[in-house]
A and B are shown apart, each in its own frame.
Chain A
Amino acid sequence: MARQEIIAMILAGGQGSRLGVLTDFIAKPAVPFGSRYTIIDFPLSNCTNSGIEAVGVLTQYQPLELNSYIGNGHSWDLDRNNGGTFILPPYLSQEGNEWYKGTANAIYQNIPFIDSFDPDYVLILSGDHIYKMNYEKMVGSHIEHDAGATIAVIEVPWSEAPRFGIMNTDKDGRVIEFEEKPSNPKSNLASMGVYCFSWEVLRSTLIEDEKNPESRNDFGGDVIPGMIAKGLKVFTYHFDDYWKDVGTVASLWEANMDLLAKPDLINLRDKTWPVYSKNPQRPSHYFGPDSIVKNVAVTDGTEIYGEVYNSIVGYSVVIEKGAVVRDSLLMPGCRVCSGAVLTRCIVGMNTVIEADVRATPDEEDATEAFLNALCEDDITVFAPDLIIRSGAVIAGNSMVGPKHADIRPDIVAEQPHLARREMDLC
């Protein structure tokens, strides 16, 4: 293959277990985000906008949706004669390769792929972060420092620092110590999980790491600390724009709401840095004669006849007259029927909320059958492809999934399989 100076590897194989039923059947990076996007649109668009032309996407957990979403990379201008997007699942070989054991092992198993481009630099990115970053600048800083590895860091509030991997640096920005979730942090520079490596350095480090039976083959846990311990040059790259890891129900909800509350922080209208996505081919959206819509993001194919406040509404959603939706995230293809009231809800793709369902935090006589520790801040999650039977009253912090169809058939049913997933129509 033609040589590429920089290639990007996006880690998209994680299960995202903290998102519960939302990732039962799809990988976390394929979860819809912000009305018309999918989480992986952000790193992919960053690659395109940074001029990176070869992108490997490492998949492992439930890759079908993600594979079909990415396709040949056309939606991000990543269908290239030289380079382009490559879906990289684990594979079998003479040596008997196995599942990706950890993030570093995933890259290790793809050394031949990276070698085929003969790159100078390799970017390791996460498939589940919402941010806009010019990777070219990061590589520039990497070259300037003549570093072996450069780690993007962001300043987090000191109180939150114990939740992150924290970088302690000298005055030049060189990392002298890495602490994973320190209880007494010495710095508030958190690793974003965005790394730039000189390929030669990374290649030999990965081979060494693979030989170490003690290693969990993880970038944050093993590779980076190992490089620091060996005295290799590891530098930080300061990023001071919007960045959010959407790994939990609360952070997914919050990042979506940020699009409404802080539209300037992650400016989707910036023509110099567009966020690309696969576009559904649907007609324009429609606001009905009696609709009331305040502070709402909405996209193609959606029809709103009811009331919607402070919400993110995906494509091909129908909100019937008499329905009231507040502070919620409605994923593509779902329907909220007349008289239903949703507050602080995340509704998965194609789920139907039947008439007069109430899912709001302070409901009396609400069923607590679906309470789930993954949900906090009174956020309720409905899995994709469900039917929530009319009249159900559901307490805040619930997580309703397909398994409940057996336990509470009076409230939950699964969509018949004939229902075509909206994504197929893209």
Chain B
Amino acid sequence: MLIDAMGLILADNRRIHLGALNVPRALAAVPFAGRFRIIDFALSNMVNCGIKRIGVVALTRYKSLMDHMGTGGWWDLDRMRQGLYLIPPYINPVTRAPDRTDAQGVINYVESGDQTHVIISSSDYVANMGHLSLLDRHIVSGADMSVVYTRDGQISGPPSMTFELDGDGFIKDLMVDYPNPTSELNAFGLIVISRTLLLQILEEMMARGIADFSIVGLLQHYDRMKILAIEHTGSLFRIHSVASYFDASMQLLDDDVRQKLFLPDRPIYTKVKNRAPCIVSSDSGAVKNVLSSDGCVIMGHVENSILFRGCVIGHGAKVTNSVLFQDVQVSDGVTLDHVIIDKNSVIKMGGKLVGQPGFPIVIAKNSIV
């Protein structure tokens, strides 16, 4: 399959904060769905439609992102021609601050490809989607740029990019983070643009001293460019707050949701870890409605929860409505409800943590509670 497009993934978003979850890592590297990270979905969507050249623009805290991506082999992106490119910011050698030539790395990456189009994805949503029809519609419409949207403008909450359409389906008014949106049309970070136009925009940005390259920045050209809006009707999770992250995670426990997200012919690839199979012990409590992963040892009671790889749930522990990241240890007798626990944390004997459905407790990475 040949597709005349290269990929560009924005690994971070200065407008999004997931509390303790994205303090140690870029947004794109936040773990999701038991054994994945958010970026796996954008990368796999691109790879599954035949894209062979993908750049990942990092801002800060990209160590775990780099660990995760490696040479790109997990996505078949360790190629001699094309492949995976990490684009970290340039630091000014004198001031040690991010350079105003921030976009230069992106320009170099875009310039050196030979594809006609660029598919740009942000890292604040999770979906399994094919990009071929998107590209076709973009080309047929003759638009300068195309952006994908869903109809959750009035319920999603900030950050939002609500807009109005003209009679031809092009964006005529864009409202960013507007508190009382009148439109339900809400764009998300998936854009198709020609390589030459993207280069022109990037060079203008540089010339004007604008360093921040973002989806919003691109869409703000609606007043002088034809931006086609294309609706996404399949399932999609926006990840823009702890509450939305938690809600998206809990929805994964629904069979239908999982089936739409993990299609056999469009697999989501991720970094492989050679963990032993998960063991549910003979004296475990009930294990119901749980998504769990290799390396877990379940001896306690777990319900309505997601366990990432290597979690250990002790005897008599009761874990409900919670998300436990990799290698979290829950000691005997602990009670957890509505809690998100980041990697490598240990919840010691007899502890009890209870959050609320719209307000889960978040325990930071490497904590000992």
Contact = CB atoms under 8 A, between A and B. Distances in A.
Interface of A: 34-36, 74-75, 260, 263, 268-269, 274-277, 279, 281-300, 303, 310, 312, 425
Contact of A298 (B35, B268, B280): B280
Contacts of A269: 275-276, 295
B183 interface: no
B156 to A, nearest CB: 25
A291 B274 contact: no
A405 B253 CA distance: 38
Given A281-B270, A295-B282, A287 B35 contact: no
A191 B255 CA distance: 50
B165 interface: no
B277 A283 contact: no
A352 to B, nearest CB: 16
Nearest to A303: B255
A282 B261 CA distance: 11
B289 interface: yes
A282 B44 CA distance: 13
Interface string B51-62: 000000000000
Nearest to A34: B277
A418 to B, nearest CB: 13
A319 to B, nearest CB: 13
B364 interface: no
B290 A286 contact: yes
Interface of B: 33-36, 73, 253, 255, 258, 261-262, 264, 267-270, 272-284, 286-295, 306-308
**CB-CB nearest 5 A-B residue pairs:** A284-B34, A268-B276, A295-B282, A35-B277, A279-B272
A295 B274 contact: no
A386 B34 CA distance: 31
Given A279-B274, A300-B35, A284 B280 contact: no
B287 A287 contact: yes
B289 A74 contact: no
A268 B267 CA distance: 27
Given A269-B276, A281-B268, A300 B293 contact: yes
Contacts of B267: 281-282, 425
Nearest to A294: B282
A271 to B, nearest CB: 10
Contacts, number: 102
Given A289-B289, A295-B281, A283 B258 contact: yes
Given A279-B272, A284-B34, A295-B282, A36 B277 contact: yes
A299 B276 CA distance: 8
Contact of B262 (A268, A282, A292, A296): A282
B318 to A, nearest CB: 15
B288 A283 contact: no
Contacts of A285: 278, 291-293
A36 B289 contact: no
Nearest to A315: B277
Contact of A288 (B262, B276, B289, B308): B289
Given A74-B73, A300-B293, A288 B288 contact: yes
A286 B291 contact: yes
Nearest to A298: B278
A369 B64 CA distance: 57
Nearest to A284: B34
A294 B49 CA distance: 41
A208 B295 CA distance: 50
Contacts of A284: 33-35, 291-293, 306-308
B86 to A, nearest CB: 21
Given A288-B289, A290-B288, A294-B282, A283 B35 contact: yes
A296 B264 contact: no
Residue among B35, B283, B308 with max Cβ neighbours from chain A (10 Å): B35
A4 to B, nearest CB: 24
Contact of A287 (B262, B289, B295, B308): B289
B39 to A, nearest CB: 15
A285 B272 CA distance: 15
Contacts of B258: 283, 286
B211 to A, nearest CB: 37
B295 A275 contact: no
A180 to B, nearest CB: 36
A297 B279 contact: yes
Contact of A293 (B276, B280, B294): B280
13 contacts: A268-B277, A274-B274, A276-B274, A277-B274, A281-B268, A282-B267, A284-B306, A286-B255, A286-B258, A286-B291, A287-B280, A294-B281, A295-B281
Nearest to B73: A74
A286 B293 CA distance: 9
A329 to B, nearest CB: 12
B277 A291 contact: no
A294 B283 CA distance: 7
Residue among B36, B261, B280, B308 with max Cβ neighbours from chain A (10 Å): B280
Given A295-B280, A299-B278, A283 B262 contact: yes
